[in-house]
A and B are shown apart, each in its own frame.
Chain A
Amino acid sequence: MDEKEFNKMKVCDFEELDGPKSKEELDEMKMPYEEYCRKLFDVGNEFVKPEALKGIRWMSTTMYIFTPHSVANLAELGAECIKVEMPRMGDPMRHTSPFNEAYLYPLHDTRPMTGTGLGFTNANSNEFYITLDYHVPESKRVFYDLVKMSDGLTECYRHGTFDRWKQGYRQVAEMNPRFIYVWGGGFGYGPKIFGGSYDILGQAHAGLSSITGTHEDFGGHSTKCTNWCIDWYSGTQITSCIMAALIWRRKTGLGTMIEFSQVQAATRMCGYTVPLYGRFGIVRQRWGNWDTQLCVHGIIMTGKVDFPDRDNPQEKFESRYVMLSAFQDADFKDLCDIIKKPDLFSQYKTHKARVGAPAQMEIYKAIEDWAVDKTRSEVVKIFKDAGLLAAPVLNDKEVYESEHYRTRGTVRWNDDPLFGDVLIQSAYSAGLMSKTPRRHKWIWRPVGADNIKIYHELLGYPMSKVEELYAKAII
């Protein structure tokens, strides 16, 4: 092969590749990895870096958690997101709060004694809040003006409602062909098209609740995750659809309609359940705090709690659970030695032998019997000292106090421009990015707080018109 031919084969030149150009650069490359990561991600200084989605404008005509969260993801990545709510009322999610207790006031000028509940948290961070009543014919023009100025919207109304109101994808695509339109809801088109959605419906209808919780033989029942895991998960799935649609638009110049069924999305979380049924006709069952593929790999309960003298029941009664993993043969042998049951290892020498259901029942019982006179931290220490993977099941307070999360900025205090000192995770719980990190700017704003910014400053409506729309309760 002559040199000319050889050069033709090359796709890059090492001389031109990135590499240390100075001693400082070389030192940086030789940095210990931990130190390198700390410098690279520079937790706490996210705001000096650019935002990946700056320049994207997104309308959030959404309610509750699922669809709003798909937009909050964009807002945390730098998109300008406009949350559109019903005048004077706002998103119904604002009116939900844990045990009806934790609210931040005000909701709106006209309702001084009504607040926004903490249930609203994380699903609408960094957005601008405007009001618009779609039911009034005069609101159509306002809506279309927003569409023309935006890259896309996410909506959550019943299937076909926006289409009937002449503001669905078929209509808006003619006004703005680059528009990306997301419908997110319960079932999508099909036999159950008119079914609405809630997280719990997603968990139930997708079969997820049927495989969550303790097995019925141990007195367990179909269980939902206490938090709305399917809402958060489905919202994030929508965001990945939006990202793909944005790239598609860059290639073709055309928008997309995304039709996202929440109950459909939840089936993905069931893992092997579907092919298992397809091939063997076996309907998967619950296995609670244990694992169907690995043993030992579960959560056990200790006999004593870590904090018997605390007042808070979550600490006083619940600080007794330990996550434990020792499924490899050598680890399992160590575990059996620790709990003084060497015969258990003789009985279940291979993983195949111990992953069976009767074996798991015997093994976990033996571990819990051994742990009956020990606290959570004692059990964790004993296993960790032996080189096994064990961790306490933490509560919120312990997550807050965790040095690991503080180092990575996962949970942090934010000086919210309106609400003062707020402890948040939101943007910082979704991965670190070295060049364009997510960031949390504000938790939320009152209903219609940005009416002037959007209607007057962005759309150019004169203040007299804004006042008139407000007086007619259109905004």
Chain B
Amino acid sequence: MCDIIWCKKEVGGKVCDVVNYLDPYCFWNWEGKVGCAGCGAVYYIHMIQGHMYEGPIEKAGEKPDILPLYADKPNDGYDCYMPGVEGRTRPFECLPRAVYLGHADMRKFSIRGHPVRGWRPQPPAGGVAGAYGFFWDIEKLSPDVWAEYQEKIKKGEAKDW
């Protein structure tokens, strides 16, 4: 679902002409004021089940409740405001987790505090034809993780769930 507010407000003798994308308003019933990412004009809208029931009606001098997620100027090349541009668009919150690192997180313990393997680099198998042993003897092969695990057990940080 994506509805838009195409801002036709004249600013300094020129039409703003910015398309503000309201996504995601999927099956929303929403009423409030949206700010234009281009000129900052504020529009009142009332959506019922995703329909633009009322608006957009310009509300001069009022503060917006929300900013669009993304905006562009289709009549003016490829100019756009990506999500999260300060004062123009709101940030895209649909992240896989709270803190987005952007790189692999080398874990040595699971979320319940038990040791895991799989960080890199791992030592080669040493077997013929890339064959691996069946069992990872953590105490022998990763003594540092084993020692840390013993500490965790003592502190009660290694849990059942």
Contact = CB atoms under 8 A, between A and B. Distances in A.
Interface of A: 98-99, 101-106, 108-110, 112-113, 115, 131, 214, 218-221, 288-289, 301, 310-313, 316-317, 361, 364-365, 368-369, 372, 406, 413, 415, 417-423, 445-453, 455, 463, 466-467, 469-470, 475
A214 B27 contact: yes
B31 to A, nearest CB: 10
Given A101-B104, A421-B114, A106 B3 contact: no
B110 A112 contact: no
Interface in B36-58: 48-51
A115 B118 contact: yes
A378 to B, nearest CB: 18
Given A220-B1, A420-B118, A449-B130, A289 B98 contact: no
What is the size category of the interface that chain B forms with chain A? Answer: 35 or more
A45 B13 CA distance: 77
Nearest to B96: A99
Interface centre among B29, B48, B130, B138, by most chain A C-beta atoms within 10 angstroms, is: B130
B118 A105 contact: yes
A102 B132 contact: no
Interface in B66-110: 93-99, 101, 103-105, 109-110
B116 interface: yes
A102 B116 CA distance: 13
By DSSP majority rule, is chain B's interface helix, strand, loop, or mixed?
A: loop
B129 A301 contact: no
Contacts of B109: 421
B125 A109 contact: yes
B118 A313 contact: no
B97 A369 contact: no
Contact of A313 (B26, B29, B94, B138): B94
Interface in B1-51: 1-3, 25-29, 48-51
A105 B110 contact: no
B135 A417 contact: yes
Given A101-B105, A311-B98, A451-B130, 18 more contacts: A101-B96, A105-B120, A106-B125, A109-B124, A113-B121, A214-B27, A214-B50, A218-B49, A288-B27, A312-B97, A317-B93, A413-B110, A417-B136, A421-B112, A421-B115, A449-B125, A463-B128, A467-B128
Contacts of B2: 219
A219 B3 contact: yes
Interface centre among B25, B129, B138, by most chain A C-beta atoms within 10 angstroms, is: B129
10 contacts: A105-B122, A106-B125, A112-B120, A218-B1, A218-B49, A218-B51, A289-B27, A361-B49, A418-B117, A466-B129
Contacts of B121: 105-106, 112-113
B132 A445 contact: yes
A113 B129 contact: no
B103 A101 contact: yes
B93 A467 contact: no
Contacts of A219: 1-3, 25-26, 50-51
Contacts of A113: 120-121
Contacts of B25: 219
Contact of A312 (B29, B98, B111): B98
Nearest 8 A/B pairs, CB to CB: A104-B118, A311-B98, A219-B1, A421-B114, A449-B132, A448-B130, A470-B129, A420-B116
Nearest to B119: A105
Contact of A369 (B29, B110, B122): B29
Contact of A448 (B3, B50, B116, B129): B129
Contacts of B103: 101
A465 to B, nearest CB: 10
A108 B97 CA distance: 29
B129 A469 contact: yes
Interface in B126-140: 127-132, 134-136, 138
Nearest to B132: A449
Nearest to A463: B128
Contacts of B130: 108-110, 131, 446-449, 451, 470
Nearest to A418: B136
Contact of B134 (A415, A417, A455, A463): A417
A466 B116 contact: no
A106 B120 contact: yes
A423 B161 CA distance: 10
A218 B129 contact: no
A214 B49 CA distance: 10
Contacts of A218: 1, 27, 49-51
B29 A372 contact: yes
Contact of B98 (A131, A313, A372): A313
Nearest to A313: B93
